[in-house]
Amino acid sequence: MVERLLVTGGNGFLGSYLVEKALNQGFEVVVVDDLSTSSCINVPKDAKFVRCKVEEFSDDTRYDFVAHFAARPSPEDYMKHPVETMLSNSLGTLRTLEIAKRSNAVYLYASSSEVYGDASVIPTPEDYFGYVNPVGVRSCYDEGKRFSEALCMAYHRQFGLDVRIERPFNVYGPRMRADGVYGRVIPRFLSQALAGKELTVHGDGNQTRSFLFVHDWLEATWTLLTKPGLSAQVVNIGSPNEVKILELAKLVIKVTKSSSKIVFLPPRPEDPRRRAADITRARSLLSWEPRTSLEEGLKTTAEWLSRAS
């Protein structure tokens, strides 16, 4: 029998890779997306596309897998739309959990490393509970993710639903939104470098992140979604390599052979100082390891951006 997958946010960067992979594996795929953060249509013709807000979506179809990815992950975007941001990761999570429960489906939730906030343990393991301001400007995103994780576990404990939670850490690659301030750090630096414009670093550039190429992310996510026996697992999907934002800017200039200069802007409010993933659990549960170096991944993304623009 053909397996059926529902992907919310399936027109977005990460969702579109999952949709493509599932279609290649012979799945039937339904995508729900309101196109709020999309600059183009990524959904292949073989998938059914429903343009709708996830918090308003209902469906009687039976699914084998439900993946909830709909969100506004760019800080500039979610700070401008805090209410919509909270709704897709509260009501939207409830709606999709109900669909999974009715279908007895495996439910995958795309949470975020943002649940850790300004973590004091680096690399951060899954059992670090987080240091998050519940009323700060980032709380619409961080607390939406934290609430959704709690709701997933409530559905697991009360109804026995097979839920799996992933916490991605700064995934990047082709198809990422690169427009203006909404682009996250890698597509923003790459577009600036390719256009010969100044690279804009927020703060002093000593804040760190760890970056994961999208093909590596897809491999881990597909295993987390489809491997039997992973119910109620919470897994970091990221890289343990910590990189200063200033070093990233310099590497982008190197790989694009750009003559752009680096300029410094005021720091972003409540920007976490350090971030890197402890991937011990992903290594053991998913037999997974990131394989793409940052330099290699940046080159591939730069080539895509040059072709796309």
Q: Where are the beta strands (DSSP E) in the chain?
A: 4-8, 28-33, 48-51, 65-68, 106-110, 162-168, 171-172, 199-202, 208-209, 212-213, 233-237, 243-244, 262-265
Q: What does the alpha-carbon distance between residue 192 and residue 174 come to, in Å, rounded to a whole number?
A: 16
Whichever of 155 and 169 has its CB closer to ligand NAD, that residue is 169
Our CB check for ligand NAD shows the closer of 14 and 305 to be 14
**Cβ-based nearer residue to ligand NAD, 10 or 205:** 10
Q: How far is the CB of 196 from ligand NAD (least distance, A)?
A: 26
Angle at alpha carbon of residue 41, lines to 86 and 296, rounded to 5°: 90
SS3 263: strand
Q: How far is the CB of 110 from ligand NAD (least distance, A)?
A: 4
Q: Which residue, 73 or 240, has its beta carbon nearer to ligand NAD?
A: 73
Per 3-state DSSP, the chain is made up of helix, strand and coil in percentages (nearest 5) of 40, 20, 40
What is the C-alpha separation between 264 and 43, in angstroms, rounded? Answer: 37
For residues 20 and 258, which CB has a smaller minimum distance to ligand NAD in the complex? 20
Query: From the CB of 264, what's the least distance to ligand NAD, in Å?
Result: 23
Which chain residues interact with ligand NAD by CB under 6 A?
Answer: 8-9, 11-15, 32-38, 53-55, 69-73, 88, 92, 110, 112-113, 168, 170-171, 177
Name the residue with the smallest CB distance to ligand NAD: 12
Say if CB 212 and CB 12 are below 8 A apart: no
Rounded to whole angstroms, how far apart are CA atoms 185 and 74?
A: 9
> Minimum CB separation from ligand NAD for residue 72, in Å?
5
Positions marked active-site: 141
Minimal distance in Å, beta carbon 169 to ligand NAD? 7
